[in-house]
Amino acid sequence: MYYNPLFAILPLLIGGFVALLCGISERTERAAKYIALAGALGSSAFSILLLLHAQQATQAYQAVWFSFAQSSFQLTMALAPMNQILLLLVAIISPLIFLYSIGYMDRPNEQSRFYFELSLFAVSMILLSMSGGFLTMFIAWEGLGVTSYLLIGFWYQKKNPPAAARTAITTILLGDIFMLAGMLILWNQFGTFSFSAIEAAASGQAGTTLMIGLAFVLIGAFTKSAQFPFHEWLSEAMEGPTPVSAFLHSSTMVKAGVFIVILLFPLFAAFGQLLHVMLIIGLVTTVIGALNALSSQHIKKVLAYSTVEDLGLMFVALGLNAVLAAVIFFIVQAAYKALMLMSAGTMIKANDEDTNIYNLTAFGRNKVLMMAAFVGALSVAGIFPLSGFFGKLAIDSTATSNALVYIILTAVDFVTAMYIFRWMFVPMHNQKRKMSIQVTGRYATMKRSMVVPQVILAALIVLFSINVLFFGNYSYIPGLAPQVSAFGKLIFAPLSALVESAVGLAGISIAYLFFFRRSSLFAERSKARLFLSNGFFVSTAYLYLTKAVLAFARGIEIFDTQLNRMLYTGARGVVNIGSAVKISQRGNVTVYIAALAAGLAFVIAFLVFLK
């Protein structure tokens, strides 16, 4: 039976536009969230059907968009192994985000616009996951950029969200320019935008033009996936609603860059220089993300910097030529990061929208929410046997061939366990110190639409562990094992497993001593915390760079103004001279003859004088 990939986005498109129309009155606006959720469920169902009926691992669908001269530009959709993995992740997580939003987004007069924008965001993610060529990818890529801008700045009445949205879209568009340039270079060389066709045509090639094109694509991937020095926009994006944050960090928006690099990795692998760039940038980003997460006091920004670290780890794996390790971590990160952000949203909701972890109290007596958060935190910390352990172990085992990289990753594992349990223990310490009956009551009566997605995501983390331990399958769904195994065979290093476990437990122990028993470390504005919380002053460097560029631009403006004034003055002088000469032109032949005679007399006298 034939399934057109476009069927997977139609329910979300229809649901989104109908939800927007529901905003015409307060009565109909209440239905917007349910219509959008139905659209998300429909798109997920079609996506799973599409995966089940994919006849070939690289099955592609093409449609001619337009033709120009001798060239035909096609929209290509494919179901290669990486496409199927990402499509499944989006199909699983999208409905959970919509369900969580029903309980979280309860303010009046914002339902229809929010669900319309969220639906378009999900449509862009599904389209990106099915991209088989640069044209389709770029349409989805830009769709993600525009909708993320709208969603980050959703609460435009506040001061910070519009500025955060501008920061995000400016950084992303900078990378889009490089991505577009890389696309055009590859198209000019190979005459096609199709990923598979480019890989086939470039087989065995390693020319300078190809490397430049891939380098531009890589820069675009770095900006989208928040790699140094483009990482600060991701923490700013936390000004948006929490469901948006969970969607941004778990599915495709921030992973879009990693996704494209994996799809084109056979091309990147031919250039060791580009792999070295991935490794170095990934390591720097990983360290910065972990240290910033350790110092941040904003409950969602801690997780934002954690995502920066996760994305850096994926690029480290790719830089080490370990595609399978990157793919496994790509899969496991989706569930635990969505779960942690939902837990953060729950705490924010129960604590009067406060986002400072030193002011929050955690979970009250709601054991379900607490256990779900602990499952997510243990997975982030890389504790056996949860999914995060296997994801990080895959990368650490690969890094054993490079001592320096392995030492850095081990140190990052320690800091990760420390900061994520600081995230857990500080609010728990506050709860032990000052139990609020009002906040406890909010946790006890938390809406089921917010609790159920967290339980499901915690169950997915456990399911992954069961699949690995009993079936040797590194995916959430056993049927997806062939797609994961298509990237190679992974061999875990037993010593790395022991080291990771010991380091993770040590980090949790330190966090318990400093943040649960006392809750004082990093609470004050020490110099170390000031340095770390300012993102190694990357944003400050950007500020000074912007001021320098503006100063240079003002200098150019002054020079341009003075030059125009000089040219204008000179032109006016020429005009005045011409006007004076024009007076003598009256059409009188006698005057002309006299002027000619006077001129000849002057020339003769001059020649005589020279002799």
Show the 3-state SS of 160-171: HHHHHHHHHHHH
- Non-local (6+) Cβ contacts of 137 within 8 A are 128, 131, 260
Average pLDDT for the chain: 82
Q: What's the start-to-end Cα distance of the chain, in Å?
A: 107
Q: Please check whether residue 345 is in contact with residue 392, taking contact to mean a CB–CB distance below 8 angstroms.
A: no
Average pLDDT, 10 consecutive residues per value, the chain (611 residues): 73 86 78 88 88 61 73 80 87 90 80 87 90 89 90 86 87 91 90 86 80 92 88 84 78 84 89 91 92 87 91 93 88 88 87 82 80 91 86 87 90 92 84 65 78 90 77 55 62 78 90 73 54 60 73 85 85 79 69 80 81 63
Return the beta strands (E) in 3-106 as ranges: 60-68, 71-78
Per the DSSP assignment, residues forming a β-bridge with 75 are 63
Q: How far is CA 339 from CA 96, 153, 305, 329, in A?
A: 10, 23, 16, 16
What is the rounded distance in angstroms from the CA atom of residue 476 to the CA atom of residue 461? 8
The CB-side HSE value for 41 (13 A sphere, CA atoms) comes to 7
CA pair distance 499, 405, nearest whole angstrom? 14
Which amino acid is present at 212? I
In order of 77, 222, 335, 509, the CA distances from 81 in angstroms are 13, 22, 19, 40
Contacts of 37 (CB under 8 A, 6+ apart): 15, 95, 98, 99, 102
**Distance between CA atoms of residues 197 and 207, nearest Å:** 17
CA separation, residue 241 to residues 172, 246, 384, 457 (Å):
20, 9, 32, 19
- Identity of residue 270: A
Which residues are 64's β-sheet partners? Answer: 74
Show Cβ contacts of residue 291 under 8 Å, excluding neighbours closer than 6 positions: 415, 532, 536
Fill in the amino acid letter for 382: G
CB 50 within 8 Å of CB 79: yes
Which two tokens mark 345? 């949203």
Q: At what angle do helices 367-380 and 387-399 cross, to 10 degrees?
A: 10
Residue 35: partners with Cβ closer than 8 Å, 6 or more residues away: 15, 18, 19, 22, 115
Residue 574 corresponds to which tokens in the numbers above?
A: 């020429």
Nearest to 191 by CA among 74, 269, 270: 74
Specify the length of the chain in residues: 611
